[in-house]
Amino acid sequence: MFKKTDSYTLSEATKKLERYCAYQERCHKDVTSKLKEMRMIPEAIDQIITHLIQENYLNEERFAQSFARGKFNIKKWGRNRIVNELKQRHISSYNIKSALAEIDDALYLETLDNLAKKRLNSIRETDIQKRRRKLADYLLYRGWESHLVYEKITELIK
């Protein structure tokens, strides 16, 4: 009838969050949300986060760099989408800049080229304007800069 709620001592919660952060890079927002789910009081949340930062389990710059590399390399996101996602996680502009520096410019343009060609081959539309629109929508949704997208469309669809 009633759901049993787990309650954690400060040391239990700290150990649990150490494992949580050691498994994968996390941002402060993720850790705070996790602690709130665990029904920890604000003073305990502050104490645990301070401990995680001091012990280097939690590092926003490292998180931002890892996030940007991963989303670019694996999901082929553009810079705009990466920046927006990092901003939603309350990452500072300094850390966002350092994260974007992880992406090589030449590789960035090459990835855009490959992604655009692959998508264009899968678009079955015959009308040139609709093909352009579909390709643009796809690339813009993935966070590629509009000037790069429109240059690429002009290059690929004549």
pLDDT tier, 73 (very low <50, low <70, confident <90, very high otherwise)? very high
pTM (whole model) above 0.85 = yes
Tokens 């305990």 correspond to: 44
- 80, two tokens: 């705009």
- 146, two tokens: 């509009």
> Does residue 4 surpass a pLDDT of 50?
no
Residue 67: Cβ within 10 Å count: 21
pLDDT tier, 8 (very low <50, low <70, confident <90, very high otherwise)? confident
d(CA 50, CA 145): 37
Alpha-carbon distances of 7 from 4, 12, 23, 74, 141, rounded to whole Å: 10, 9, 22, 37, 42
Residue 52: Cβ within 10 Å count: 21
